[in-house]
């Protein structure tokens, strides 16, 4: 679901980025005002979770791959505003360090994965769990919230793709950026997510939320017991299991490189051309492109990427908690 | 009856004088003292990893990072440092990153000419190596008590006398630092208005410090003799290794193997 650069026209990227600015502002304000400073490092662990969950690619019908997001999971554990910040920063690290998702399309990616998914998932979860009492309500809420959340994110993603041929084309009518109209992009994105990725997302969400609730309820409700070590153990387990994401061969839909796109078949017919905007568009070489290290086996490269990404996110939020502390002290003075 | 001159209000404003050098000295002393104190404060809490193991791991990391010519291996070392940092507190991370990034930035600037000659990979590799080594060394200093560190040196067959001198040095830095801080405060408080002799007093402080340190050394030596010191000093041995230490040592072995396979 990570839109690479040059799939969206620059105007679309600008609009999506502008749409995210008020969300980010509000999220930072909410978190600094309402979130206990000591819990900000938990957000780092949350961001690391989202980062790792997104590394588990699963094969989907049609020969492409998809992955879960963990947006609803973070929203239930840390609240939707913190989840928005966590996923945004995880996406930023992915884009800058691993070349997963574009730099220009960062705003659009955040809109789909850091705004639509966590907020929608969270509100559906709340709606159901408040009306259906007891364990059943909790679980039904989690499953419905995470399943609908990721699918709505896939839908907005597909709409952004599908609008491109209408918005940007040359005089001959040949699209400059993403070449597929809505009639292609929506089924191509939604079917794999409805069939596979949504189920994986719901499974991850239920498993991890119930684990945290049992082991370290303090991460969800303030004042309860917090134990960080078992949570770190789950992170390490996810890192060790991350090469499973390599089992699914092929690129995800809408994440082909410029060298791949001409031969991508759709309805039995290859596209046959490289859209002009993609062939000579903005290019950014990440340090660990596609989570691999040159000269090392894929599996080891994937594990190193997982470790580095998770560590960077945890470090970042530990540093953020310092900023929070000093500004809090200033207020008191 | 109150004399008239006592009732008159006086407008005495002492002329401002330059004493930035005193403030700067005070600040330096304070920062050094507080750093040493913050390092000796964590005595009650048991360290997660033994100081000896930490020291060996640091030496291995620095040695192999410097020996390797391949960017992949340097990247691996960087990942190791990232993991270590991610397990520390925010304050420690900030302290480490500040120093490491400053030093690495300076290195990068020095290597700028070589980048213009086309050797980008070399410049990046060396900068990354510096960043990794400084961060790792700073991590050891920031998370290990100095007393545990000097004692860990004993495990490496470093003469006990050397450890004794190191221990004393650290202790005297605290004592003499506190003493000179008091004298600097005194000089600052007593200098009202313009005091031309301030720089002269500063040399007085240095001289007093020297005399005082000689007295202290004599006192310490007498105290040691009274307690039966015969000239040989045995540093207290550290307790045995624990499970967490064995885990770190295993990671060290894996690291050396990684160097053998991809680093050289």
| A123-165 per-position pLDDT tens digit | 999 999 888 888 888 899 999 999 999 999 999 999 988 888 8
- Strand partners of residue A266: A269
Tens-of-pLDDT digits for all 264 residues of chain B?
A: 788 888 888 887 877 777 787 888 888 888 888 877 776 665 445 667 888 888 899 999 999 999 888 888 888 899 999 999 988 888 889 989 999 999 999 999 999 988 888 888 888 889 999 999 999 999 988 888 777 887 788 777 788 778 888 888 888 888 888 888 888 888 888 887 777 777 788 888 888 888 988 888 889 888 988 988 877 776 666 677 788 888 889 999 998 888 888 877
Any chain A CB within 8 A of the CB of B78?
yes
Mutate to test the interface with B, among A47, A292, A314, A327 (most CBs of B within 10 A): A314
**Cα–Cα distance between A60 and A64 in angstroms, integer?**
6
Position B137 scores a pLDDT of: 92
Q: Collect all residues of chain B within an 8 Å Cβ-Cβ radius of residue A321.
A: 90
- Report which of A254, A253, A271 is spatially closest to residue A262, judged by C-alpha positions: A271
Position B40 scores a pLDDT of: 66
Any chain A CB within 8 A of the CB of B82?
yes
Give the CB-side neighbour count of residue A5, counting CA atoms within 13 A. Answer: 14
**What are the Cα distances from residue B52, in Å, to A65, B92, B146, B249?**
48, 20, 12, 11
Q: How far is A219 from chain B (nearest CA, A)?
A: 18
Which of B72, B93, B262 faces A315 most closely, judged by CB atoms?
Answer: B93
Q: Collect all residues of chain B within an 8 Å Cβ-Cβ radius of residue A319.
A: 90, 93-94, 97
Of chain A, the percentage scoring pLDDT greater than 90 comes to 27
Position A217 scores a pLDDT of: 79
Give the CB-side neighbour count of residue B51, counting CA atoms within 13 A. Answer: 21
Burial of A217 (0-12, 13-18, 19+ CB in 10 A): middle
Residues 6 or more apart in contact with residue A3 via CB below 8 angstroms: A101, A102, A105, A108, A109, A112, A157, A160, A161, A254, A255
**What are the Cα distances from residue A285, in Å, to A96, A100, B33, B78?**
9, 11, 46, 19
**Cα–Cα distance between A124 and B3 in angstroms, integer?**
86
Any chain B CB within 8 A of the CB of A244?
no
- Report which of A95, A265, A105, A282 is spatially closest to residue A180, judged by C-alpha positions: A265
Work out the number of other CB atoms within 10 angstroms of the CB of residue B221: 11
ipTM higher than threshold 0.85: no
CB-CB under 8 Å, A310 with B75: no
Residue A331 has pLDDT above 60, yes or no: no
Residues 6 or more apart in contact with residue A168 via CB below 8 angstroms: A9, A11, A175, A176, A177, A277
**What are the Cα distances from residue B63, in Å, to A215, B51, B58, B60?**
41, 18, 8, 5
Position A152 scores a pLDDT of: 93
Closest residue in B to A306 (Cα) is B79
Q: Collect all residues of chain B within an 8 Å Cβ-Cβ radius of residue A97.
A: none
Helix axes A80-98, A117-131, angle to 10 degrees: 150
Closest residue in A to B74 (Cα) is A293
- Strand partners of residue A65: A59, A252
Residue A37 has pLDDT above 80, yes or no: no
Any chain A CB within 8 A of the CB of B72?
yes
Which of B82, B88, B93 faces A308 most closely, judged by CB atoms?
Answer: B82
Q: Collect all residues of chain B within an 8 Å Cβ-Cβ radius of residue A288.
A: 75
Q: Which two tokens stand for residue B114?
A: 């070589």
Any chain B CB within 8 A of the CB of A286?
no
Position B73 scores a pLDDT of: 87
Closest residue in B to A40 (Cα) is B90
**Cα–Cα distance between B152 and A84 in angstroms, integer?**
46
**Cα–Cα distance between A311 and A306 in angstroms, integer?**
8
Report the SS3 class of residue B239.
coil
Domains and CATH numbers, chain A: 10-327 (1.10.1760.20)
User: CB of A61 within 8 A of CB of A95?
Assistant: no
**Domain boundaries in chain B?**
48-155+240-264, 158-237
Q: How confident is the model at residue A216 (pLDDT cuts 50, 70, 90)?
A: confident
CB-CB under 8 Å, B90 with A321: yes
Average pLDDT, chain A: 83
CB-CB under 8 Å, B75 with A307: no
Q: How confident is the model at residue A75 (pLDDT cuts 50, 70, 90)?
A: very high
The radius of gyration of chain B from alpha carbons, rounded to an integer in Å, stands at 26
Range of weakest confidence among A68-72, A200-204, B43-47: B43-47
Which of B83, B89, B90 faces A311 most closely, judged by CB atoms?
Answer: B83
Position A215 scores a pLDDT of: 84
**Cα–Cα distance between A177 and A13 in angstroms, integer?**
12
CB-CB under 8 Å, B94 with A319: yes
Which 41-60 residues of chain A touch chain B by CB within 8 A? 41
DSSP state letter for A59: E
Mutate to test the interface with B, among A44, A231, A296, A298 (most CBs of B within 10 A): A296
Position B133 scores a pLDDT of: 93
Long-range contacts of A160-163 (CB under 8 A, 24+ apart): A160/A3, A160/A8, A160/A12, A160/A16, A160/A108, A160/A112, A161/A3, A161/A7, A161/A8, A161/A185, A161/A189, A161/A254, A162/A186, A163/A12
Closest residue in A to B84 (Cα) is A311
Which of A294, A307, A318 faces B79 most closely, judged by CB atoms?
Answer: A307
Residue with tokens 């490289």: A274
CB-CB under 8 Å, A293 with B75: yes
Any chain A CB within 8 A of the CB of B122?
no
Residue with tokens 């900068």: B127
Average pLDDT over residues A238-258: 76
Residue A92 has pLDDT above 70, yes or no: yes
Closest residue in A to B90 (Cα) is A318
- Strand partners of residue A23: none
Q: Which ranges constitute the DSSP H helices of chain B?
A: 4-7, 20-41, 51-67, 71-86, 90-110, 112-116, 120-143, 146-154, 160-190, 198-226, 243-258
Q: How far is A65 from chain B (nearest CA, A)?
A: 28
Q: How confident is the model at residue A202 (pLDDT cuts 50, 70, 90)?
A: very high
Residue A57 has pLDDT above 60, yes or no: yes
Any chain A CB within 8 A of the CB of B83?
yes
**What are the Cα distances from residue A138, in Å, to A14, A53, A250, B175?**
38, 22, 36, 61
Any chain B CB within 8 A of the CB of A297?
no
Backbone angles phi, psi at A129, to 5 degrees: -70, -25
Position B18 scores a pLDDT of: 75
Which of A295, A308, A319 faces B79 most closely, judged by CB atoms?
Answer: A308
Position B44 scores a pLDDT of: 45
Q: Collect all residues of chain B within an 8 Å Cβ-Cβ radius of residue A294.
A: 72
């Amino acid at each position: 679901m990570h839109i690479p650069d040059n799939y969206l026209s620059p105007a679309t990227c600008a609009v999506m980025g502008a749409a995210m600015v008020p969300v980010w502002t509000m999220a930072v304000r909410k978190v600094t005002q309402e979130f206990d400073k000591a819990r900000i490092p938990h957000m780092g662990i949350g961001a690391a979770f989202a980062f790792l969950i997104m590394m588990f690619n699963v094969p989907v019908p049609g020969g492409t791959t998809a992955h879960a997001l963990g947006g609803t999971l973070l929203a239930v554990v840390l609240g939707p505003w913190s989840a928005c910040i966590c996923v945004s920063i995880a996406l930023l690290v992915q884009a800058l360090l691993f070349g997963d998702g574009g730099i220009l399309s960062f705003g659009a990616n955040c809109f789909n994965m850091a705004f639509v998914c966590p907020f929608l998932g969270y509100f559906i979860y709340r709606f159901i769990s408040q009306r259906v009492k007891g364990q059943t309500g909790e679980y039904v809420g989690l499953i419905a919230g995470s399943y609908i959340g990721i699918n709505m994110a896939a839908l907005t993603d597909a709409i952004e793709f599908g609008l491109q041929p209408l918005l940007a084309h040359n005089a001959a009518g040949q699209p400059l950026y993403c070449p597929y109209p809505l009639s292609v992009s929506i089924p191509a994105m939604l079917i794999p997510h409805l069939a596979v990725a949504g189920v994986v997302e719901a499974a991850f969400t239920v498993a991890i939320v119930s684990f945290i609730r049992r082991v370290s309820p303090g991460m969800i409700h303030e004042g309860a017991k917090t134990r960080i070590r078992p949570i770190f153990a789950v992170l390490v387990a996810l890192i060790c299991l991350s090469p499973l994401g390599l089992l699914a061969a092929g690129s995800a839909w809408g994440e082909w490189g410029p060298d791949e796109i001409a031969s991508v078949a759709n309805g039995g017919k290859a596209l046959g051309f490289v859209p002009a905007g993609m062939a000579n568009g903005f290019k950014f070489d990440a340090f660990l492109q596609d989570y691999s290290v040159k000269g090392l086996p894929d599996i080891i490269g994937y594990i190193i990427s997982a470790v580095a990404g998770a560590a960077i996110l945890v470090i970042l939020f530990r540093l953020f908690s310092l900023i929070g502390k000093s500004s809090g002290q200033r207020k008191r003075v | 009856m109150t004399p008239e001159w006592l009732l008159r209000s006086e407008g005495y404003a002492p002329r401002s004088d330059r004493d930035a050098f005193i403030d700067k000295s005070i600040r330096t002393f304070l920062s050094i003292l507080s750093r040493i104190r913050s390092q000796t404060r964590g005595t009650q809490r048991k360290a997660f990893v033994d100081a000896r193991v930490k020291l060996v791991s640091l030496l291995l990391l620095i040695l192999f990072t410097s020996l390797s010519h391949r960017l992949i291996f340097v990247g691996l070392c960087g990942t190791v440092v990232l993991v270590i940092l991610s397990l520390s507190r925010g304050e420690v991370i900030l302290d480490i990153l500040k120093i490491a990034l400053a030093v690495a930035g300076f290195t990068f600037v020095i290597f700028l000419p070589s980048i213009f000659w086309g050797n980008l990979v070399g410049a990046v590799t060396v900068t990354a190596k510096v960043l990794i080594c400084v961060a790792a060394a700073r991590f050891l200093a920031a998370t290990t008590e100095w007393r545990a560190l000097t004692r860990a040196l004993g495990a490496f067959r470093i003469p006990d006398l050397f450890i004794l001198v190191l221990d004393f040095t650290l202790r005297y830095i605290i004592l003499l630092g506190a003493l000179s801080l008091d004298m600097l405060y005194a000089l600052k408080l007593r200098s009202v208005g313009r005091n031309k002799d301030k720089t002269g007093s500063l040399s007085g402080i240095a001289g007093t410090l020297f005399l005082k340190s000689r007295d202290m050394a004599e006192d310490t030596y007498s105290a040691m003799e009274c307690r039966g010191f015969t000239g040989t000093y045995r540093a207290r041995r550290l307790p045995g290794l624990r499970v967490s230490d064995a885990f770190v040592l295993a990671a060290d072995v894996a690291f050396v193997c990684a160097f053998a396979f991809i680093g050289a």
